[in-house]
Amino acid sequence: MVVDQSEFESFGSWFYIYMVDFSMLALFMLVGWAILAFALAAIRNSPIRAAKMIAGTIKRAFMVDFPSTSIRRTMAMSRLAIQEAIRNKVLIIFVLFVALLLFAGWFLDVENDHPARLYLGFVLSASTYLLLALAMFLSAFSLPNDIKNRTIYTITTKPVRAHEIFLGRVFGFAAVGTLLLVLMASVSYGFVIRGLDHEHTIDKTAIEWDESTGLGTGKTSLDGYHRHDFTINEKLKNADGLVGTTELSKGHAHNIYLRDGDYIVEPPTGDLLARVPVYGKLSFLDRYGQPSEEGGLNVGKEWTYRSYIEGNTLSTAIWEFENLTKEMFVTTGSDDGVLPLELNLRVFRSTKGKIESRIHGEILLVNPEETLSSVDRFSAPIPFEADEFVTSQVNIKFSDIRRQNPVTGELQNIDLFKDLVDSGKLQVHIRCKDHAQFFGMARADVYIRAPEGSFEANLIKCYLGIWMQMLLVILLGVFFSTFLNGIVALISSVAIVAMGMFAGFIGDIQTGEAPGGGPIESIVRNITQQGATLELEMGDTAIEVIESLDGFYLNTMESLAKLAPDFSKFNMSAKVAYGYDIHLNLILRQLVTTMVYFFVLVLAGYFILTSREIAA
C-alpha cells in the first residue's frame, strides 16, 4: 500500500505550517468579498456610500449578528432543511445502496485472492460516492429554489440572520446525511462479515500422519472457492482443544480444535485487521557501503515512489526506529519477546534465474551509536526471502538474536535492548543477497508491527472521514448557492471536489514528476505520436510557446486547487481494506481542516447573503 510522505509529519509541525495557508485562504475570501460587494454597491451608489455600506456590514457582522446568534432559530432552519430533504425522497439513496449490495455478487470477483480487500473497497467506495452525490444535489439546489419560489422572503422578514439561514441549511442536510451514513455503515459491516464468513471441514480419514513427529497434515474441504493446507499436533492441545492451524490462503487462516473426537475448523481469522505500524526513517548505502545522498537506485521505472538496492553488494537500506521499549514486544508472563517486522518489498529481476523461487535477503539489527566498533554494533545476519507483491513477515525472537564472538568466532546470544537498542533507537539494515537482482523499498515498506488495533474502531474512523467529506461538500454547495443558481452551484461544487481530489496530480505535472507535460503538450504528443518520456521533437520557439501556455494554465489550476479541500487526504478506505490502523494524527488533521473550512465558508456565505441585500 502506498503511504503519502506527509503522513510521517507530526501533527504539531503540520498544524504550524498549514494554518498559515488556511489563514491566507480566509483573508483572500474576505478581501474578495469586500471588493466584489464594493463594486456592486458602487454601481448603484457613490463609491463613498459603498465604502460606508461595506464597513457597516463588517461592523454589524462582528458586533451584532455573530454575537447574537440564536440556537433556537438555527435549529428551526435545520428542521426546515430536514423536512425539505425528506420531501425530496433522499432515502431512495439508501434503497439504491441496499440494491447494490444485493446484486454485488453478480459483478464482484468471488474468487479474488483478497476477498476482504475487495468487499471493503466496494462498500466504502459506494458509500462515499452515493453520499457525496446526494450532498451536492441537496445543498446546491436548496437556496436557489427558495429564492426562485420566493419562500425565502418569509424567512428573511422574520428576525433570522443571514448566517443562521446558512447554518440551518448545513446542519439540516448534515443530519440527513449522517443518518444515511450510519445506515450504510451498519449494512456494509453486515455485508462484509457475511461475505467473508465460511466454514471448512476436515476428513479424518484423509489426514496423513507422520509417526516420527506425530504431526498430521492434509487439506480442508473446498469452501468459498478455496481450501487450506493444515497441520495438526495433538500433543500441543490446550485447554480449549486447539490442536493446529491452517496455512494462510486468501488473506486468512483457521484455527483447528479437537472436540468430541472430531476436528472442528473455526471461522476465519486475519481477514479484518487493523495493523499498527511503527515506521522508521529511511536512508541508503551505495554498492560500496558508503552513505548515499541520492537514495537508492533507479532501475528505469517511471514511478519513483520506491528506490532500489543492488544484490550481492554492500548496497543497503537502513530504517532507524525510535522510542522502542521492551514492553512493546514482551507479553506478560513471558521471558522471551519477539521483534515483529513486516516487509512489503518489491523485487526487480535483471536476470530470470530460478523464476519460481524467491529472492534472498538478509536483515541485520544494528546499534545506531556509531562510536562503537562494528563487532559491537551489528547482529548476525537474519535470512529471509521476498517475492513481488508478497508481504514477508519476519518475527525475530529475542533468543535468536546473535553476533559473532571476536575471539572465538562463534555465534553468541545477545540482549536486544542491552546490546543493540540505544536510547530507544534501533537500526534495521536490509540487503539483497542474489547477484543482479534488486529490492525496491519506500519508507513505509518496512515497519515494526505494534499490538493489533480494533478493526471496528478503524472502520468507524474511516466512516468519520467520509462524514467529513460529506460536510465539506454540503458547505461548498450551500456557499455556491448563495450567489449562483442551482445548476451552476452544482457544477461549481463538482469542479471544486474534482480539483481537491486531483490537486496532487496537478502539482506533479507542474513539477515535472508526472511525464508528458501539461494539456497542450499532451495533445501535441498524441497527435505526433511522441512518447511521454521522450524529449518533444519540435522547434525551440514552438516548445517555449507550449510550455508558456501550459505553465499559465497549470499555475491557474494549482492556485484554484489550493483553495479547495484536499479530498484525497480524507479517503482512508485503502487503509481499512489493506488492514492498517488509521493513526490519530490523520484524523486530527482532517478535523482541523474541516473546521477551518467550516468557519471560512460560513463567514463567506454570511457576507454574500448580506451583499445580495446591499446589491438589491
Task: Give per-residue pLDDT as tens, 119-150.
Answer: 999 999 999 999 999 999 999 988 887 777 67
Contact criterion met (CB below 8 Å) for 165 and 610? no
User: Cα 508 to the chain's mean position, in Å?
Assistant: 19
What is the distance between the alpha carbons of residues 107 and 546, in angstroms, rounded to a whole number?
A: 44
Confidence class of residue 42 from pLDDT cuts 50, 70 and 90? confident
Average pLDDT estimate for 323-351: 81
Res 353 pLDDT > 90: no
User: Is residue 209 helix, strand or coil?
Assistant: strand
Q: Which residues contact 424 (CB under 8 A, 6 or more apart)?
A: 322, 323, 324, 325
- Of 472, 570, 516, residue with least CA distance to 4: 570
- Nearest Cα to Cα of residue 318 among 289, 346, 298, 338: 289
Question: Which are the contacts of 45, defined by CB distance < 8 A and separation ≥ 6?
Answer: 53
Name the least confident of 114-118, 155-159, 214-218, 450-454: 155-159
Which is more confident, 221 or 46?
A: 221
Please indicate whether residue 105 or residue 267 has the higher confidence score (pLDDT).
267
**Residue 418 near residue 387 (C-beta atoms within 8 A):** no
Structural domains in the chain, CATH included, are 69-196+454-582 (no CATH), 204-265 (no CATH), 276-450 (2.60.120)
The reported pLDDT for the residue numbered 616 is 40
d(CA 49, CA 522): 51
Q: So what's the pLDDT on residue 589?
A: 92
Digit-coded pLDDT (tens) for 407-464: 777 888 898 988 899 989 999 999 999 998 999 999 999 999 988 899 999 999 999 9
What does DSSP say about strands 316-321 and 281-285: parallel, antiparallel, or unpaired?
Answer: antiparallel
Mean pLDDT, range 558-568, rounded to an integer: 77
- Give the per-residue pLDDT at 439: 94
3-state DSSP helix/strand/coil percent for the chain, to nearest 5?
A: 50, 20, 30
Dihedral through CA 115, CA 117, CA 122, CA 127, nearest 10? Answer: 140
d(CA 174, CA 470): 8
Is the pLDDT at 232 greater than 70? The verdict is yes
How many Å apart are CA 497 and CA 595, to the nearest integer?
17
Say which residues have a Cβ less than 8 Å from residue 293's Cβ, sequence separation at least 6: none
pLDDT of residue 373: 84
What does the block give as the cell for 166? 446558512
Provide the grid cell at 293.
545522498
Residue 485 has pLDDT above 70, yes or no: yes
pLDDT of residue 615: 41
The answer to whether 506 and 576 are in contact (CB under 8 A) is no
Ramachandran region, residue 433 (left: φ > 0; alpha: ψ -120 to 50; beta: rest): alpha
If you count them, how many residues does the chain have? 616
Residue 271: what pLDDT?
87
Biggest alpha carbon–alpha carbon distance for the chain:
103
Identify the CA nearest to 69 among candidates 158, 167, 153: 167
Higher pLDDT, 539 or 239: 539
Q: What rounded mean pLDDT belongs to the chain? A: 86
End-to-end CA distance of the chain: 55
> How is residue 434 written as a grid cell?
542474489
> For the CA atoms of 490, 493, 498, 499, what is the dihedral angle to 10 degrees?
140
What pairs with residue 382 in β-bridges? 363
Identify the residue whose cell numbers are 474512523: 461
Can you tell me the distance from the alpha carbon of 43 to that of 362, in angstroms, rounded to the nearest whole number?
Answer: 76
Q: Is 384 helix (H, G, I), strand (E, B) or coil?
A: strand
Residue 334: pLDDT over 60: no
Q: Which residues pair with 342 in a beta bridge?
A: 393, 447
Classify burial at 543, counting beta carbons within 10 Å of its beta carbon; exposed 0-12, middle 13-18, buried 19 or more. middle
Rg over alpha carbons for the chain, rounded to the nearest Å, is 30
Contact 102, 191 (CB under 8 A): no
Strands (E), 226-381: 229-232, 242-246, 255-259, 262-265, 276-279, 281-285, 307-310, 316-321, 338-343, 346-349, 359-366
* Cα 22 to Cα 524: distance, rounded to the nearest angstrom: 37
Nearest-10 crossing angle of helices 71-87, 115-148:
110
CA distances from 532 to 84, 495, 502, 543 (A): 50, 27, 20, 15
pTM for the structure as a whole: 0.87
Question: How do residues 376-396 score in pLDDT, each as one tens digit?
Answer: 899 999 999 887 777 788 999
Interatomic CA distance for residues 595 and 585, integer angstroms = 15
Q: Name the grid cell of 47.
A: 463609491
State which H helix or E strand residue 108 sits in: none
pLDDT for position 188: 95
Backbone angles phi, psi at 533, to 5 degrees: -95, 0
Q: For residues 597 and 496, is the Cβ–Cβ distance under 8 A?
A: no
The angle subtended at Cα 99 by Cα 96 and Cα 104, nearest 5°, is 125
Nearest to 462, CA basis, from 576, 306, 292: 576
* Confidence band, pLDDT 50/70/90 cuts, at residue 614: very low
Taking residue 19's Cβ as centre, other Cβ atoms within 10 Å add up to: 12
Bridge partner list, 176: none
- What is the grid cell recorded at 346? 518489491
Q: Residue 29's pLDDT band (boundaries 50, 70, 90)?
A: low
CB 466 within 8 A of CB 128: yes
| pLDDT the model gives residue 251 | 84
Dihedral of CA 526/531/537/543: which sign? positive
